[in-house]
Structure 1
Amino acid sequence: HWYPYNERLICIYCGKSFNQKGSLDRHMRLHMGITPFVCKFCGKKYTRKDQLEYHIRGHTDDKPFRCEICGKCFPFQGTLNQHLRKNHPGVAEVRSRIESPERTDVYVEQKLENDAS
């Protein structure tokens, strides 16, 4: 259920406003110290499932971000961006997920054509 701007849900601890009850509930976990999502590798705890999933990539071989220039894969978008800046200077930071390389190929081709002109 969405709440209009004038009926927003307000956090009683910090005053931050939300337009969905689920968003406020997730936010409240921060203030209440509730961390139900635990890393099975190191025991680190998180308030949100997506935070844990992101963290776990650092422990595993899950590398969904691929450099379209050389094919090397990375666990995080940020590490791909660092690789591009260091190893392929002048090439735009390409947001490439292995699941949809065709969209990125078009972008890279367009970017390289634009840079050449």
Structure 2
Amino acid sequence: MQELEQHQDGIGWLFDAFKHNGLTLSVERWASGETQPASILQMEKGFSGTQMIGNIARRVPLSSEVVLSELAILVPILVHHFVLSGFVTTNNDLQYESAVLQPNMMLASALDRVM
């Protein structure tokens, strides 16, 4: 989660990366509430070119496969939560300046909902 929340562009970069990598329909489904786990292939494709998986795997330390399988569960829930909570739209329009300046607030909000 640290890698996600510490990105310089806030959570919006996640939407951009997945859309840029051909997963616009997946992002839209997750945003609308279809939060069943994604596939590992979707995670590989969505995070392609971001170095995020390797960074997380080194930090935790876990294998890239384990990181991908965990993100496959987490990302759909996070996307839905951030849209539902009004932090970001599916077009990656940040709704609150705090979505970039205080990402911990978004993370805490998501974890409260999940737990």
TM-score normalised per structure 1: 0.23
- The answer to which structure has the higher helix fraction is 2
Larger RCO: Structure 1 or Structure 2 (Cα < 8 Å, ≥ 6 residues apart)?
2
- The answer to which structure has the higher strand fraction is 1
TM-score normalised per structure 2: 0.24
